[in-house]
Structure formats: structure tokens, C-alpha cells
Copies of this chain bind each other. A is one copy, B any other.
């Protein structure tokens, strides 16, 4: 019984993947929040995914959900689609990074493997999407992500912005105006670790910028 993966199921798997990246099972409520549906509905779907053949998730009451191998591969497939599409729309249709998310959210479920391959080939098999997130390879291996939150950077340390974890258009536009885009070089001038506030020198910019946790926890860097 080769189960057809509906849009809805693909979304569940994608979000479970993201919620379990820290190694912890995903909770019903967290999933419900992300999916924008009621917790009770999530429980129902989870039970179905856990008892399907083959099972896509592994689940024990009140213990949260994790992906099985099958489920993980399906999730990576969707994530690969999403990130390739974002990169493609930005590169070929002049979208900006803050505009592509919703479009990719819909397209990710309907492109064929053939189209996926053509998009990837047309762009030379990119490793990152416009937000800096790694794009799983065609054989569904997620590239190692060596980035760390800006808030984790030590004093006087230099690094390069490698990823921004947000789909909030306003925030993304703001970051752009600060020069905090993928590839930007930064150096910490002052850090207040407790509340994750920092003063930062952005290469190519005269004035340092002062950032709060809403930003320092969402902008990721790699030490060069």
C-alpha cells in the first residue's frame, strides 16, 4: 500500500523535521501552533502517520513525535523542494528573499522530481537557499550546518552571516537595511550576554549597530 503523501501530510512531516532538529521529539502543541490547526487535529493525524504502513513517524502517547527513516526522507524531499524553489525564484525572477517563502510553501508540494532536477541543474546544484539554509542533496542528505546564532558570538570575534531564520518580511527588510545579509562580515564590539544584546561592527558600514535578541537569535554566523 504505497500511501500517497498529501500536501497536508507533507506539511506535518516538514514541521516535525524542523521541530526535532534539536534531537527532542516534537510536541503536539508545538506542531499545532506551526501548522495553524488545533492540537486535537494534530493528535489524530499523528496517530494515523504512526500506524500507516510503512510508518512515517514514531509516537507514544504524551511523549511527542519523531520521524522514522521513511518520514525523514519524505520531509527532506519537501524541504529540498522548498529551498530550491526559493533559490530559483530569487535568481530567475528577481524576487527578494523576503518575498519567496509563501510562494515556495505552495509550490513545494506539486513539483515533480523531473522539475526539481531541472531547477537544481539550472542553478548548478546550490547548497544554500537565499536565507542561508542548507539544501538537502538529491539523495536527501542534509549538508552539515556549521552556523551559530549571532548571540553566541564572543567579544571581538569576527564572523560571516550565513543564515537568517525568519520569514517575517519586515524583519528581513530591516536586516537588509542594516547590511546584515548572507555573506556580510561582522565583528562584535560589545556583548551583554545575559539579555543577548550586542553592539556589532558591520564591514562596509560606518556606524556600529546595536541589536536585541529578536535579531541576535535569528541571525546566524560562521566563524571564518
Over the window 78-92 of chain A, the binary record of Cβ atoms lying under 8 Å from chain B Cβ atoms (1 yes, 0 no) is: 000000000001001
Residues of B within 8 A of A110 (CB): 106-107, 109-110
Instruction: State the copy count for this chain.
Output: 2
Which among B103, B114, B119 is the interface contact of A115 at CB below 8 angstroms? B103
* Consensus secondary structure, chain A interface: helix
Is the pair A95, B107 in contact by a Cβ cutoff of 8 Å?
no
CA distance A94 to B115 in the complex (A): 11
- Chain B proximity mask over A182-208: 1 for CB below 8 Å, otherwise 0: 000000000000000000000000000
Report whether B122 and A93 are in contact in the complex, using a CB–CB cutoff of 8 Å. yes
A103 to B115 alpha-carbon distance, docked (Å): 8
**Is A167 interfacial (CB-CB < 8 Å)?**
no
Contact status B112-A103, CB under 8 Å: yes
Residues in B with CB closer than 8 Å to A93 are 115, 118-119, 122
Decide if A210 is an interface residue (CB 8 Å cutoff).
no
Docked complex Cα distance between A102 and B95 (Å): 25
Residues of A at the B interface (CB closer than 8 Å) are 89, 92-95, 99, 102-103, 106-107, 109-112, 114-115, 118-119, 122
22 contacts between A and B (CB under 8 A): A89-B115, A92-B92, A92-B122, A93-B115, A93-B118, A93-B119, A94-B118, A95-B118, A99-B114, A102-B112, A103-B111, A103-B112, A103-B114, A103-B115, A106-B110, A106-B111, A106-B112, A107-B107, A107-B110, A107-B111, A109-B110, A110-B110
